[in-house]
Amino acid sequence: MMLPAEDRHEISYLRTGQVAEILGITKKTLKNWLKAQFIPEPVRHPVNRYRRWTLQDIESIRRILSERQGAR
């Protein structure tokens, strides 16, 4: 039985390339930030282990970047 749309909590996930594009950086830069633990690792898909980025993840990255620029 399917729940009505208003009862489902569907989250739209973004791919790494999409997140990089939104932030105006390359995928390589984004992955380097993850490797250096400059930004938090997003949740991964339980089956294929792909990163599952959310809009909250993007806002978190923007906040980190903003704070870092303010510290200069």
pTM of the model: 0.80
Query: Across-strand partners of 43?
Result: 52
pLDDT band at 7 (very low <50, low <70, confident <90, very high): very low
pLDDT band at 11 (very low <50, low <70, confident <90, very high): confident
As a whole number of Å, the CA-based R_g of the chain is 15
Q: Tens digits of per-residue pLDDT, 16-42?
A: 999 999 999 999 999 999 999 999 999
**CA separation for the pair 65, 12 (Å, rounded):** 23
- Please report the domains of the chain, with CATH numbers, ordered by start residue: 14-70 (1.10.1660.10)
